[in-house]
Structure formats: structure tokens, C-alpha cells
Structure 1
Amino acid sequence: MCGFSGFWSIKNSDFDFNQILSDMGNAIKTRGPDSSGTWSDDENIGLVHRRLAIVDVSAAGHQPMHSSSQRYVIAFNGEIYNHLELRAELEAITPRNWLGHSDTETLLAAIEQWGLFQTLIKTTGMFALALWDRDTKQLQLARDRFGEKPLYYGWQNGCFLFGSQLNALRAHPNFAPEINRDAITLLLRHNYIPAPYSIYKDIYKLLPGTIMTLNSSLEQTTDIYWSAKDTMAQAAANLCTLPAAEQLQQLEQTLKNVVKGQMAADVPLGAFLSGGVDSSLIVALMQAQSNTPVKTFSIGFDDKRFNEAEFARAVADHLGTEHTDLYVTAEDALAVIPKLADIYDEPFSDSSQIPTYLVSKIAKQQVTVSLSGDAGDEVFCGYNRYILTARTWHKLSRIPVVLRKMAAWCLTAIPIKVWNALSVLVPARWRLSNMGDKLHKAALVLPSKTIEQLYLGLVSHWQNPESVVLNSKEPLTALTDPKRKANFLDPILQMMAQDTLSYLSDDILVKVDRAAMAVSLETRVPFLDHKLFEHAWRLPMAMKIKGSKTKWCLRQILYKYVPEHLIERPKMGFAVPLDTWLRGPLKAWADNLLAEQRLQQEGFFDVTKIRKMWLEHLSGKRNWQYQLWDILMFQAWYEKYHK
């Protein structure tokens, strides 16, 4: 796990390459605090690498690294879990004199033997890389299959810039970007900016599973070496027909192999443990294959609504891990907020970014690598919203759209405070807290014409962000672009695919990568092994859902290691009490960022709408915590980088 950056200049050969590259590398120092290296040549191209040494911590793993023939130079961020198998395959072709045992050296040898495209098809891992071919004078950028590791790129005043984070690009003297208002609409809808867009015009994120090539004629081409969309479609069309018991046995063995492979490291290793199904299963399989207690980490909150630490402790005690949990106060969590703009360096407003950073900080005190249970929900159908949305659509789709539009109008015609007053007349088992607020939100998605529209509406923070962001047009994404979106007849598969193509890559993985890298911690996600992913998508739905139980197959495997009663409980998520914080300890901070005059001067948002929402939230009339957090995270980022 590391960070890298670089640039290719076509206009200016008078740059002080060493100084500029050093500045770009220092901007992402937390991604690689162990060492740094720069390289440049007379083609006006340069690379800088910041190293967090994980495999082969010796100087033999130093980057940028040259291939044995000196043809290729690489800057690489990530881990290739099967690199020893690749070495054995290469040795069978031609015996080699290896300088060390780093996966980067293996990768370069493989590229010389098979080329980049075929090499990446053979790899199992998470990565982003920049590869310079000294013979053909071409630059290639590549990213792993799911986008676990980030990679930005774009032209700025005659320079092609690229790097792990925007902070590195900002350090280049030619970096003078324009804020992309269209991207702000995506932030408001999703709480993240999905690839290929970034907050800046002309700066992009490389899509997962993709190789981008820039040749000496400055022609840019893109090749897809692996497609999640195609993989899901092919697997779902070729479902496993073995008896359930054999499917479970195969799945357990596959999971064991993946976890064992991701436990390889020359530095201390541990795991995040929330006590839920996914993280508990990863830790259980780690402990089953370890001769010593696995180090596990969790954080707790005094607020019972958000505290899972006691459940994690119970699982840890049962498995016999070396567990560390730390109860953090509201003040501890609030202290993270001023750091968020630095940590994420692009507007990002998934509020679970706060506890993710805190648990990463705790883990880093003892380990350098931590495995996580992320992606279990997307890969094995773990979100309750999949079932609820499918059931809702089954009923809604029978009602003509015109009648649903009328119903929506009726719901919103009655003020929220009136609905709340009427809620006392509803039987207790059907009564909703803040019923008016929920009914008004439900009215927004009632007219949906397809389940895709319904699901997008349900998971959107802002239903019409173009009406809030001035002079903007919401771009097409993997959820709305016919060329990129998945198409499944099964509504649950469709929702899983949508989350995989956007939410997983652009929210979950971004959140974890930036939070962990801020404290120089490598994170690994076993559920995103691509062979395991293919395996999971070949499992029939009956292996994933039984009645109202999600992730059924994972639960059956987990219960071989952990008693059911330690796991079965309502799902909490990794949240913080934003609603009350915004009315309390964060009020002054938010008031400043949402000041009417300030919003008018900056000119990004409809001031009237934002101020109305803020005042409604402060009064308790509405709970606009997520919508406001989107705005606040943009405002805090803008204040940091553009004031």
C-alpha cells in the first residue's frame, strides 16, 4: 500500500522535475511514510512514489522500479496477492535472478513476459499503477477490478497529471482547475462523486478494471481487462446447481483460501471487527488459520443507538482474538471533522467516514495491515433495503402511475406537522416516529416508473440536485447511463448490481482507503477477491435469502465458528448522531459554513433552499441531516482548498 503521482509535460522542459515530484509526493506522504523515490527522463515525464512497506520491506522493494531489461519503469500502489504463483509461472518459462521478493518486481517481470493487459488478467489483488514504456514512449495507467485503490488523471496547461489523490495533483505548478458544478449534483444525490467524474473539470478518476494508454502522439485509448457488469451477467446466467450443502462447502473453502492469501505480510496484521456477520466471518477464518491470536479492533460509543463494541467484544472473546476496543466520546468524533477535507481531499459526505477514521487510527497503533468485512452486503445480498424495495415495487407496480402521482400529491398537500399530530391515531405497531417527514419523503418516489427509479430515489439524498446547484446538469452515471448500467430481470439482482457498480467502488472503498491511508494503514477486502465475487454471483438467490434472512450462506458458515445468538440482532450500520450534533455541538461550525451572505458570494447553491432546510432542521421541524451534511462537506472542502 502506497501512493504515487507523476506528470508528462509537452510544453515545458524547464521544470525542476525533482522538486515538483518531491512536492507531489509529500502531498500524499501519509500513504507512504516509509520512503520516497523519484524518477524522470528526457521525455519530460516523471514519477514519484511514497512507500508503505508491506511485502519485502528491504530496499529491494523501492520504487519507482525498473524492469530487469530497463524497458519499463513503474510506480505501483497496492498488493498482488498471488504474486508468488506468478513468480513460479515465470520461473517455469525462464529461470530468473530476483533482486528481492516484492510483488512489484514480480509485476514488472510479468509485464515484460506477457504485456500489461494479460498480466492484469492473471493477477489477484488491489492496485493502481503508472507504467512508462521507454521503447514505445507511452504511459499506461491501470486500476484494480473494483477500484479499491484510487487513481486520478487529466490535462492541466500542457501537462498530463496523474496520481493517487488530488492533493498530489494540486502540488504541481500547472494545476489550475475549475470546479465542476455538474459533479456537485452527484455529490448531493449520492454523498460521493462517482467515477469517472471528479470535483474538477478535466480531472477524472480511472474506472475500475481499466487500462488507459497515452502514446507519444498524445492519443488516449482505454481498454477494459475486467468488467464487473459482464461478470455478474455471465455468472447469473450460469447458476450453480449443486446441492446446498456442497455449495456451502465450496464457498467456505474459497473464503478460507482468499483470507489466507490476504494474510500474507511482512509487517503486523489484524482486522476490523464490528461483531456483524461479515467482519466476524473474516476474523473467524483468520483465527482458524493462525497459530497466534489475531489482533482485532473496534470502537464504541456511549450512545446505545450507535454502539456495537459490546457485540464485537463478545465475538472476539469467543474466537480468542487479541481484541482492542476503545470507547470514544462525542468530543473525540467531533475532533475529526476539521480533518475531513484533508483526509478525503475531494468532497465526500458519507458520515460513517468519522468512525472509519477512528477505528483505523486505533488499529494503526498495533498493526500496519487490517482486513475488513466490507463488500459482504453488496456481494452476498446483505442489505434489508433489497428485500423491502422489491416487496414495495411488487405492490406499487400494480397501481397505475397516474394514481400514484395523485397519492403523492395528497401526501404532500398535508403539512408535516399535521401528519405528526395525526400519528397518535395510528395503532402503535404501525406508528412511525416523525411520520410526516417520512410520508413526505415517500411521496417523492411514489411516481417511479421502474424499480430502478424507485431504488435510485430511495438511496438518493437529494431527489433533484440540479434545482439546488446553480448552473448545473446532472451527468449520467453507472446507474443511469444505458451503456454502463446493469440490466437484470430479478429486481434484487438489479439492486445488487447497481450498488456494486457505484456505491461500493465510489463510496465504501473510497471511505476506507482515505481514512486508513490518513494514518498509514493498509486495508484489505477479502470479499472483493474477483474469483470469490464470480463464485458468489453463481449462487442461486435461495443461498442468499431465506425468508427475511439476508446473507444466508455466510451465516451458515459463520455459525460453525460463532454461536448464532452472538450475531443475530438488528443491523446498526456504522453511523454517528449527525442530527443532534448539527443542532448542538456542530451548530456554530455549520452556521458559519451555511451563512446566507457566504452562500451568495460563493454562488454554488440556491441560497433560499439551503437556508430554509437549515432552519427547519434547527427547529426540529424536519430531519435534514444527510442533505445538510452533503452541503457542509462541500463547504468545508471549498474553504480548505479554494479560500
Structure 2
Amino acid sequence: MSGLSGWIGYGASAADNQGVIEKMAGPLARFDGHAVQTAPLARAALALAAPEGSALLYRHEGVALALWGNVALRDQALLAQAGEQGLGQTLVDLWRRAPQAVCEALHGAFALAIVDEKSGEALLATDRMATFPLSWRLAGETLVFGTTMDAIGLHPATPHEIDPQGLYNYVYFHMIPGPATVHKHVQRLQPGYCLTYRQGRVETKPYWNMDFTHGEGAGESFGTLKEEFKSLLRSAVAEAAEGTQIGAFLSGGTDSSTISGMLTQVLGKPAKTYSIGFEAQGYDEMEYARIASRHFGTEHHEYYVTPDDVAAAIPQVAAVHDQPFGNASALPAYYCARMARADGVTRMLGGDGGDELFGGNERYSKQHVFAIYDRVPAVLRKGLLEPVVFNFPAGDAIKVVRKARSYIEQAKVGMPARLETYNLLGRYGAAQVFTDDFLKSANLGDPLACLERDYGRSEAKTLINKMLALDFKITLADNDLPKVVRSCELAGMDVAFPFLNDALVAFSGRLTPQQKLNGTQLRWFFKEALKDFLPMEIITKEKHGFGLPFGVWLQGHPQLQALATDSLSDLRQRGIVRPEFIDQLLGQHLKEHAGYHGTMVWVLMMMEQWFRQRPQA
């Protein structure tokens, strides 16, 4: 993965700052080993580590720029200028004229930092989907930043301090929604956001927002959109595959199959594809990956993850994340990327983003069904339906009545809180999980406040588009992208996401709500447009993915049991989780339903493993 780090507003000389920036640069390349470049100034410094072709470090007369990513300039005048004087100087000149214009000019996945010690100004930015993360902290007049928070904690002005709210939100979401982090005073830039720094003051604001206006209007014909979509998709895959030894994740789902098939077309030869399987009933999807591979003629590679693999990789997966991260799919993603790296592949293509752009998540159709209730006249709902359903004699014993009650109860919960109706922490109860002292330092309403803030940020008018906009942030930027990017970093692998190509993202905004969710039919346009490309078994299969059978394996694997028990035993000493809850979780709960309660074991175990990798935390 690599990345960048640096600061502005601290130091006495470039020589003095060299040692500090070298220390901060240490975490950037600790897993993938890319060469580190540094640019120390008297009152600022930058460090950068990235694969060749993805790194630009520029320094001239008190100004330094670090750009990490695979970016392009679409503006012809800027392209010409960059050809004459170099990309670094071109971007600095543009920044001086119009800071936000720099971000708008860059297309692709990137993290950017510009510091000018003479004027006391700086700019930080991440791409439109926050594919490449960038965190920051202001301490007095010193702005410290990095693509890993570990680098920020190594600066003398910004030592880390754990934020209990971050830990609470982690257990609630199994990740920590930005802009907050697990560290006090450290924040992450949101997707499509930039930060400007002037003489000790900072301001963050969006330079890009998803535009649904066109799609929520008249829309366009299916035939025209279909051909444009396939052309944009092919271009996005070709751009992501350029100049590298390329491979693709292939789970057998719609998105990974599409990317793998398009990659074979682009290359003009069988693409290298990689799949992970599990020897556990109900979890193995390898047959669908084989169907896709046969259909497109890919050079396919498989690996079956074992419980021993899980036990061996848990500490490593915890270590590569700069804050607690509980998505168990990170582990199979790591083994998949590691298999490809051993095969000589240097960049993997992931299918992430397809669901969030084109309407593929099951919750979209479920919420559509709940929203129907809102359209029933209030007088009918409150005067007839609800009294009949909730006062029906012996209703608890009648299945159809119980279902009706459950439906109405959920439908009456407003969005986006309704998305968390079955939240795991909510089911246990925060007071049953956390100690009293810990709960005094956390706001239990903060998780839903985070959702409401992000849900309300979109200007979309329709339910499906408001959910998609929320998922760009919560599902992609906070969860799925860190999972894949960090897992690939651990394997020494670069990764790209063709569906998140700027042109494809903009195209998806032009689709009508019905083209994304046709009644309860998910991703209608996508499947119709590709039904002559994808095998029918893939189009009609139920969504699955790289789910990990951790809870099931935990029941019968001594090494996993020992690791989980040891981790949760140490966690109970931190005063965060009630010891009696841990006892109940490892005893009664797992015996009752290993798959369900195993998720909480994983979340708590990964939190403890993250603490162990960072003794200073």
C-alpha cells in the first residue's frame, strides 16, 4: 500500500527535521517495502513511499508536494503544461491560483499533500471515494498528517491517546466511521474532501459530491445507456490494468466476474484470477468462481483457507490496520492477494463498488418494502391496521400476525436508524457488554448520529439514491475499501477498483432509481446490460462473498479456541468489556449459535489483537 506523511508548522531547520520525517516514514513501507523518499524543509516535511509510477515527490523553494496514486489529468491545457514543466510544478501553480481546483483536476485514486512553509499554507486531499485514506491532527499551529495514523503518532507534537468513543463505535459498526478515529483529536478526510491550512487554522470541505440530479429526472433510454456503460467499463478495466502484472479477485459474484471477464477481453489473453474457498458447509462459493472462469477462459487459481491459516494470520491482519477493524473478510482477501503475489502479480483488480453504484445490496430491496408502509394513509395505519395487528387475540401464537407486527414495528423506525434494527451490539445491549466506567466515557447515541449526519448529507431525493450515497461513505470508504487495500498491503500487493473509476461513478448517477432497484429486483440495469456477457448462473445467484466461517471453526479447532480465549482474557483486563459478558459469550452464546455469536468473538478478539500490536496504545 505505502503512502505519505508529513507536517507543517513545526521545526527549526531541514537538518533537524530529517530525523523526525524518517521516523514518521517508517510505518509507510513496513509491509510492502517500497523505497521511501523524504523532503524536509525548515518548518515542514513530507515523506512518500509507493510503487514506481504511483509516487510523485516534488520540492522547490520552500514548497513540497507528495502525490500517491494512479492519477490522470483530463484537462488538455494542464496536460500540456505538465508535459513542459512537470506534473509537480503544474499542480503547485494550480494550487496557488485555486486550491480546490487541484483536487478537481485529478482523476483516479490518490492522496495529496502540498505544504508551503513561506506562506504557512497547506492542502490535503483524498480521492472521491477515499480509496487512499488520509488522516490529520492539529496540535497548536502544527498540522500533522499521514495515510496511516501510525505515522501521526510518531511526531513529537501528536502522540496518540485512545478515544473511548472510537472503541464504542468500533464494537457497534465493526469499524470506526470517519471522520472520527480511535485516537483523540485525529480525524480522517472524508470521500471527496480536502483540507486547507492557513497559519494554524484548518478548514475541511467537499470538492466533489455525487450528482443524482440527472437520474432522478427524465432519465435516458436503456439502449443508449447499455452501450455507453460497457464502453466505460472496458476503459476503466484497461486503465487499471495498464503497465503492471495484473490479476483479479474472483469470488464468483456479479462484480468480480464482470471485472475478470472484462480483463480477459482487454488483455486479449486469459486473465489471471484468484479465488478463496472454505471447507465449511454453506460458506464455500468456489463453484461459482469456476463457472465464471470457464465462461471467460481465465487462468484460474484457488486456495482453500484452513482454520490454521486463520489463527496464523489474525495478528498480522490486526497489525496492518491503523485502528481496530473487525471485518472478517479481510483475512480471505489477504490470502487471495498473497496467492497472487507468489504468482508474480503486482496489482489486483477488485469488484468493490458495484453494489453501491448500481443497487446490489439486499438491504435496498428490504428498505423499499418497509417504505411502502409510509405511503399508506396515516388514518388507515393508525385507525385500522395497527389496532387490528397489535390487538389480535393470541397474536403471538400466529405466524402471520407475528410477521405483520415485526414489519410494522420496523417500518415505523425512521431512516437511517432502520438499517440498524438488527445491530449485534443493540441485540446484546450496551450495558450488558461494556463496563459501567467505560460507558461513562462514551456517547451511546453517537453511532446513529453518525449515520444520520452522513445520510442527510446527500442531496438525493429518492430512497435508493440516499442509501447509495450513505453506502459510498459507510460501506465503501469506512469498511470495504480499507479491508481490501490493507489486506493487499499486507501481501505486498497493489490494488485498483475499476468500478470506482470517476467516469463510471458519474455514469451511475445518471441511472434512474428504477434502473437500479426495479421494485425489489436489485441492480436491474446492470444485469440487463450484461446478460449477454455474464453467465446466467452468476446473474441469478444469491449474493455471498468471502464470508469467513470463524464461529463454526471456533467450535472444533483448539488453536483458534486458544487464540480467542487468550485474546478475550487479556481484553477483560482493560476495563472495556464486562468479564461476565466475555464468559457468557465464550460459553453459553457460542454453544447456542456459533455463527451468530462468533461475530462478536471476532470483533472483540481483533480489538485486543490491535492493542497488542501497539503497546503504546
TM range (shorter): 0.7 to 0.9
Q: Would the alpha carbon gap of residues 482 and 8 (structure 1) be closer, same or farther in structure 2, given more than 3 Å must change? A: closer
Consecutive unaligned residues in structure 2, runs of 5 or more: none
> In structure 1, the residue corresponding to 2:300 is in which secondary structure?
strand
Looking at structure 2, the residues matched to 517 and 27 of structure 1 have their Cα atoms a distance apart, in angstroms, of: 12
- The one of 486, 497, 502 aligned to 1:525: 497
CA drift of 1:356 comes to 1.2
2:271 equivalent to 1:306? no
* Corresponding residue of 1:189: 172
Q: Answer yes or no: is the 8 Å Cα contact 2:455–2:469 preserved in 1.
A: no
Q: Answer yes or no: is the 8 Å Cα contact 1:139–1:214 preserved in 2.
A: yes
> In structure 2, the residue corresponding to 1:4 is in which secondary structure?
strand
Q: Which amino acid aligns with 1:4?
A: L
CA drift of 1:65 comes to 1.9
2:546 equivalent to 1:574? yes
CA drift of 1:503 comes to 1.7
Q: Would the alpha carbon gap of residues 42 and 387 (structure 1) be closer, same or farther in structure 2, given more than 3 Å must change? A: same
Q: Would the alpha carbon gap of residues 94 and 54 (structure 1) be closer, same or farther in structure 2, given more than 3 Å must change? A: closer
Looking at structure 1, the residues matched to 388 and 173 of structure 2 have their Cα atoms a distance apart, in angstroms, of: 27
Looking at structure 2, the residues matched to 342 and 14 of structure 1 have their Cα atoms a distance apart, in angstroms, of: 32
Name which of structure 1's ranges 622-631 and 348-357 shifts more when overlaid on structure 2: 622-631
Q: Would the alpha carbon gap of residues 543 and 574 (structure 1) be closer, same or farther in structure 2, given more than 3 Å must change? A: same
* Corresponding residue of 1:147: 130
Q: Would the alpha carbon gap of residues 106 and 16 (structure 1) be closer, same or farther in structure 2, given more than 3 Å must change? A: closer
* Corresponding residue of 1:470: 439
Looking at structure 2, the residues matched to 401 and 327 of structure 1 have their Cα atoms a distance apart, in angstroms, of: 57
* Corresponding residue of 2:78: 90
CA drift of 1:279 comes to 1.3
Residue correspondence of structure 1 range 114-513 to structure 2 within 5 A: 115-155=98-138, 159-215=142-198, 217-228=199-210, 231-232=211-212, 234-240=213-219, 242-265=220-243, 267-365=244-342, 366-395=344-373, 446=410, 448-458=412-422, 461-462=425-426, 467=431, 468=434, 469-471=438-440, 472-474=442-444, 475=446, 477-481=449-453, 484-486=456-458, 490-513=462-485
Q: Would the alpha carbon gap of residues 401 and 473 (structure 1) be closer, same or farther in structure 2, given more than 3 Å must change? A: farther
Q: Answer yes or no: is the 8 Å Cα contact 1:462–1:627 preserved in 2.
A: no
Q: Which amino acid aligns with 1:505?
A: A
Residue correspondence of structure 1 range 29-44 to structure 2 within 5 A: 29-30=29-30, 33-43=33-43
Q: Would the alpha carbon gap of residues 109 and 264 (structure 1) be closer, same or farther in structure 2, given more than 3 Å must change? A: farther
CA drift of 1:473 comes to 0.5
> In structure 2, the residue corresponding to 1:297 is in which secondary structure?
strand
Q: Answer yes or no: is the 8 Å Cα contact 1:360–1:519 preserved in 2.
A: yes
Q: Answer yes or no: is the 8 Å Cα contact 1:444–1:463 preserved in 2.
A: no
CA drift of 1:361 comes to 1.2
CA drift of 1:539 comes to 1.0
Q: Which amino acid aligns with 1:588?
A: A
Looking at structure 2, the residues matched to 381 and 165 of structure 1 have their Cα atoms a distance apart, in angstroms, of: 31
Q: Which amino acid aligns with 2:297?
A: G
Query: TM-score under structure 2 normalisation?
Result: 0.86
> In structure 1, the residue corresponding to 2:324 is in which secondary structure?
coil
* Corresponding residue of 1:588: 562
Q: Would the alpha carbon gap of residues 445 and 606 (structure 1) be closer, same or farther in structure 2, given more than 3 Å must change? A: farther
* Corresponding residue of 1:417: none
CA drift of 1:567 comes to 4.3
Q: Answer yes or no: is the 8 Å Cα contact 1:34–1:51 preserved in 2.
A: yes
* Corresponding residue of 1:5: 5
Name which of structure 1's ranges 133-142 and 570-579 shifts more when overlaid on structure 2: 133-142
2:615 equivalent to 1:642? yes
CA drift of 1:405 comes to 12
RMSD of aligned residue pairs (Cα, Å): 3.6
> Structure 1, residues 371-410: CA drift from partner, whole Å, max 9, x if none?
1110101110001221123214535886559998999999
Name which of structure 1's ranges 273-282 and 534-543 shifts more when overlaid on structure 2: 534-543
Residue correspondence of structure 1 range 594-613 to structure 2 within 5 A: 594-595=568-569, 598-599=570-571, 601-613=573-585
Q: Would the alpha carbon gap of residues 621 and 146 (structure 1) be closer, same or farther in structure 2, given more than 3 Å must change? A: closer
> In structure 2, the residue corresponding to 1:497 is in which secondary structure?
helix
CA drift of 1:569 comes to 1.9
Looking at structure 2, the residues matched to 306 and 275 of structure 1 have their Cα atoms a distance apart, in angstroms, of: 13
Q: Answer yes or no: is the 8 Å Cα contact 1:405–1:446 preserved in 2.
A: no
CA drift of 1:54 comes to 3.8
Q: Would the alpha carbon gap of residues 334 and 402 (structure 1) be closer, same or farther in structure 2, given more than 3 Å must change? A: farther
> In structure 1, the residue corresponding to 2:233 is in which secondary structure?
helix
Name which of structure 1's ranges 316-325 and 396-405 shifts more when overlaid on structure 2: 396-405
CA drift of 1:213 comes to 1.7
Looking at structure 2, the residues matched to 638 and 444 of structure 1 have their Cα atoms a distance apart, in angstroms, of: 42
* Corresponding residue of 2:63: 72
Q: Which amino acid aligns with 1:453?
A: A
Q: Would the alpha carbon gap of residues 452 and 317 (structure 1) be closer, same or farther in structure 2, given more than 3 Å must change? A: same
Q: Count how many residue pairs are aligned between Structure 1 and Structure 2.
A: 596
Query: TM-score under structure 1 normalisation?
Result: 0.83
> Structure 1, residues 474-507: CA drift from partner, whole Å, max 9, x if none?
4365522289543655333332222223221100
- The one of 517, 522, 526 aligned to 1:550: 522
Q: Would the alpha carbon gap of residues 276 and 483 (structure 1) be closer, same or farther in structure 2, given more than 3 Å must change? A: closer
Looking at structure 1, the residues matched to 590 and 15 of structure 2 have their Cα atoms a distance apart, in angstroms, of: 52
CA drift of 1:112 comes to 5.9
Looking at structure 2, the residues matched to 444 and 194 of structure 1 have their Cα atoms a distance apart, in angstroms, of: 29
Q: Which amino acid aligns with 2:496?
A: R
